[in-house]
A and B are shown apart, each in its own frame.
Chain A
Amino acid sequence: MAETMTASPTAIRSSARSHDNTLLSVIFLIALWLSLALAITFLMTLIVTTAIDGAGRFDGALFTEYSSQLSPETTGLRAALLGTIWLMVTTALLAIPIGIAAAIYLEEFADNRRWYNRLVELNLQNLAAVPSVIYGMLAVAIFALVGVDRTGIVLVGAVALGLLILPVIIITTRESLRAVPREIRDGSLALGATPLQTTWRQVLPSAVPGIATGTIIALSRAIGEAAPLLIIGVAVTVRFDPDGIMSSFTAMPLQVFNWTSESRDEFKIAAAAGIIVLLGMVLALNGLAIYIRNKFQRRW
């Protein structure tokens, strides 16, 4: 009676299709369709209106030039692009390992009946709601303790954003770990593995798709954050490439936001183009996540 799970869901569905024609079912399906449609229409409208606004500036100079007051018609994103890349990579390197480690501990090894572990869970939910500005202040305070004065640098920005997205990573990783069926763990332990080996070799790889989703959502959010960076004193006009994690820098959302509040039209057009570029970066991130998810996705 033990059937393999490789039978595709559609094979099951076709036999149930005859029941899917009730009026209620059809209405339900249309409602679901509309839900998706709303979200997608919204996104498309946003992208199209922005792309039209920025149409004049989709040129090479947008990527190779620095921001310029002297010649706004060739103002460019070079410093902001590199800054954002540096920032995102550093943030990911900081937040992802710690987030996954914390989630593993909380989900696999912590005793949920203890009050302090419940407190941690409550904590995480709450932290996800803290306005991003606060994380900027926290990062400044932390580095003041260590004695770093000039906080408009890549490392501080990465810490601020890392703190911001850590709760989200932990929560979503926990959910992914929770979704792995118990039998997997039981089987592994029955074969003599330690709990840690079970986690590392069985549970974690199975949870990779969910972890990837959560991480990508978190990083997508971080990439567009301007408020905490402003607090830590990140510049908006920088005409050099970042050369290390202790380097001053600027980031895409800051640069774009700064341009939208300028009076001259050339800046506003460049800002619209910059938004499209930023969306492109998010798309690339998502593409990476999809690749990972599709490679490791499994249906139980």
Chain B
Amino acid sequence: MNRTSLRRAALPSLVALTVGLGLSACGGDSEGETTNGTEGGGSETLSGSVAADGSSTVEPLTSAAAELYQEEQPDVQVAVGSAGTGGGFEAFCAGKTDISNASRPIEDDEAKICEKAGIEYTELQVATDALTVVSNPGVGVECVTTEQLKMIWEPAAEDKVTNWNQVDPSFPDLDLALFGPGTDSGTFDYFTDVINGEEGASRTDYEPSEDDNVLVDGVANTEGAMGYFGFTFYEENADSLTALQVDSGGGCVEPSAETAADGSYTPLARPLFIYVANKAYADQPQVASFVDFYIDNLADVTEAAQYIPLNDEQTQETAAALSQLQ
């Protein structure tokens, strides 16, 4: 009697399941918004898919590009992942993705792997990020030199440099509470490289987090706190953080879209890239179309994602690199 009830329940459930799946398949026509096209994109309707993966910093940019592109070509399915720059290159050099987002240039070891696999690629700079050093507003310091930053963050500072006034006597007598990205972050790699002189060289007694929002929280709510992360995270929380101006020998420069673009905010202005697989570009029209659109409309894309756009010189360089592909 029980088994009959089970059987009675089984059949309709199975039917419901199949119908449900079928419906979602039918009703799942990709609805792209149809608006008047922006520049680029071509006049024929393309279809197919484009696979992009890599840095989580560059992901919003490529996603914004995909969104704008969808207005042109609603049938092209662009999927963007965020496995990290290293993970992105792994997939890229295995032929699994067409585009790799990267917050640092490809390393020699990775380039070798791509070469062995026969994957030729083109590097295109798409935006700049102004790595911002922030402090808790209560600290009251306005400017730091790169030497001072090194003094605070280098491996030798571990357990020794624990107070602001050790860095400079004019700084307040406050305990240093340090926050920063973890060792797997591209931001970490870049900061340690340009400030401490060697990638990966850093003191270890700071609060690490892979999530920049957590760092923002930490710095904003801890006395004497200092941290570093990407510019957009400072921008969004400018009222609870102080951005420190950085002096690398030419005076104190504050981080901003302008100073990053014109190169005065050194050395902490870092380039953001996409790497395009040459073969995918040549063989698949939708990939070529998407990349062309991305680069042609870079200004709109960076504005939409609220990133720092390239200056004219960098834009020309990228356009030149792209024309090599075409």
Among candidates B17, B62, B96, B230, residue contacting A150 with C-beta atoms closer than 8 Å: B96
- Indicate whether A268 reaches chain B with its CB closer than 8 angstroms: yes
Interface residues of B in 46-97 (CB under 8 A from A): 49, 51, 53, 56, 59-60, 62-64, 66-68, 70, 77-83, 91, 94-97
User: Do A237 and B63 touch (CB < 8 A)?
Assistant: yes
B30 contacts across to A, CB distance below 8 A: 239-241, 243
User: Do A296 and B77 touch (CB < 8 A)?
Assistant: no
User: Do A264 and B306 touch (CB < 8 A)?
Assistant: yes
Given A248-B49, A248-B79, A264 and B236 contact (CB-CB distance below 8 Å): yes
B326 contacts across to A, CB distance below 8 A: none
- Indicate whether A233 reaches chain B with its CB closer than 8 angstroms: yes
A201 contacts across to B, CB distance below 8 A: 3
User: Do B59 and A237 touch (CB < 8 A)?
Assistant: yes
User: Do A89 and B21 touch (CB < 8 A)?
Assistant: yes
User: Do B70 and A236 touch (CB < 8 A)?
Assistant: no
Return B305 CB to nearest CB of chain A, in Å.
Answer: 5
User: Do A237 and B24 touch (CB < 8 A)?
Assistant: no
Question: Which residue among A70, A243, A260, A268 has the maximum number of chain B CB atoms within 10 Å of its CB?
Answer: A70
Among candidates A82, A239, A296, residue contacting B67 with C-beta atoms closer than 8 Å: A239
- Indicate whether A176 reaches chain B with its CB closer than 8 angstroms: no
The 0/1 profile, CB within 8 Å of B marked 1, for residues 228-257 of chain A is 001101111111111110001010000000
Given A230-B83, A237-B80, A261-B213, A248 and B67 contact (CB-CB distance below 8 Å): no
A85–B233 CA distance with the chains assembled, in angstroms = 33
User: Do B232 and A296 touch (CB < 8 A)?
Assistant: no
A236–B62 CA distance with the chains assembled, in angstroms = 11
A215 contacts across to B, CB distance below 8 A: none
A292–B2 CA distance with the chains assembled, in angstroms = 12
A201–B2 CA distance with the chains assembled, in angstroms = 9
User: Do A296 and B2 touch (CB < 8 A)?
Assistant: yes
- Indicate whether A262 reaches chain B with its CB closer than 8 angstroms: yes
Is the interface on chain A under 10, 10 to 19, 20 to 34, or 35 or more residues?
A: 35 or more
B95 contacts across to A, CB distance below 8 A: 149
- Indicate whether A86 reaches chain B with its CB closer than 8 angstroms: yes
User: Do B96 and A151 touch (CB < 8 A)?
Assistant: yes
Among candidates A89, A241, A263, residue contacting B213 with C-beta atoms closer than 8 Å: A263
User: Do B67 and A69 touch (CB < 8 A)?
Assistant: yes
Question: Which residue among A68, A149, A231, A263 has the maximum number of chain B CB atoms within 10 Å of its CB?
Answer: A263
- Indicate whether B123 reaches chain A with its CB closer than 8 angstroms: no
- Indicate whether B29 reaches chain A with its CB closer than 8 angstroms: yes
A149 contacts across to B, CB distance below 8 A: 94-96
User: Do B305 and A238 touch (CB < 8 A)?
Assistant: no
**A68 closest partner in B (C-beta):** B67
B68 contacts across to A, CB distance below 8 A: 70
- Indicate whether B25 reaches chain A with its CB closer than 8 angstroms: yes
User: Do B81 and A69 touch (CB < 8 A)?
Assistant: no
Question: Which residue among A89, A149, A230, A235 has the maximum number of chain B CB atoms within 10 Å of its CB?
Answer: A235
Return A242 CB to nearest CB of chain B, in Å.
Answer: 6
User: Do A296 and B56 touch (CB < 8 A)?
Assistant: no
- Indicate whether B115 reaches chain A with its CB closer than 8 angstroms: no
Interface residues of A in 147-205 (CB under 8 A from B): 149-152, 200-202, 205
B60 contacts across to A, CB distance below 8 A: 69, 262
- Indicate whether A265 reaches chain B with its CB closer than 8 angstroms: yes
A258 contacts across to B, CB distance below 8 A: 59, 82
User: Do A268 and B213 touch (CB < 8 A)?
Assistant: yes
Question: Which residue among A85, A208, A241, A268 has the maximum number of chain B CB atoms within 10 Å of its CB?
Answer: A241
User: Do B81 and A235 touch (CB < 8 A)?
Assistant: yes
A152 contacts across to B, CB distance below 8 A: 51, 79, 81
A240 contacts across to B, CB distance below 8 A: 30, 32, 77
**A149 closest partner in B (C-beta):** B96
A230–B304 CA distance with the chains assembled, in angstroms = 25
User: Do B24 and A82 touch (CB < 8 A)?
Assistant: yes
A82 contacts across to B, CB distance below 8 A: 24, 28
Return A212 CB to nearest CB of chain B, in Å.
Answer: 11
- Indicate whether B184 reaches chain A with its CB closer than 8 angstroms: no
A150–B211 CA distance with the chains assembled, in angstroms = 28
Given A69-B64, A150-B96, A263-B212, A234 and B81 contact (CB-CB distance below 8 Å): yes
- Indicate whether B207 reaches chain A with its CB closer than 8 angstroms: no
Return A87 CB to nearest CB of chain B, in Å.
Answer: 12
- Indicate whether B36 reaches chain A with its CB closer than 8 angstroms: no
User: Do B28 and A248 touch (CB < 8 A)?
Assistant: no
Among candidates A69, A261, A296, residue contacting B211 with C-beta atoms closer than 8 Å: A261
A265–B60 CA distance with the chains assembled, in angstroms = 15
Interface residues of B in 176-191 (CB under 8 A from A): none
B94 contacts across to A, CB distance below 8 A: 149
A201–B91 CA distance with the chains assembled, in angstroms = 49
- Indicate whether B6 reaches chain A with its CB closer than 8 angstroms: yes
A200–B30 CA distance with the chains assembled, in angstroms = 44
- Indicate whether B324 reaches chain A with its CB closer than 8 angstroms: no
- Indicate whether A132 reaches chain B with its CB closer than 8 angstroms: no
- Indicate whether B5 reaches chain A with its CB closer than 8 angstroms: yes
**B20 closest partner in A (C-beta):** A89
A174–B82 CA distance with the chains assembled, in angstroms = 39
Pick the 3 closest A-B CB pairs, nearest first.
A241-B28, A235-B79, A240-B30
Q: Can you add 8 more A-B contacts, CB < 8 Å, to A237-B62, A237-B79, A261-B213?
A: A67-B63, A152-B81, A206-B2, A233-B83, A235-B53, A248-B49, A260-B213, A263-B233
- Which A residues are closer than 8 A to B by beta carbons? 67-70, 82, 85-86, 89, 149-152, 200-202, 205-206, 208, 230-231, 233-244, 248, 250, 258, 260-265, 268, 292, 295-296
Can you give 7 A-B contacts (C-beta < 8 A)?
A205-B2, A241-B30, A243-B25, A243-B28, A248-B51, A261-B56, A296-B6
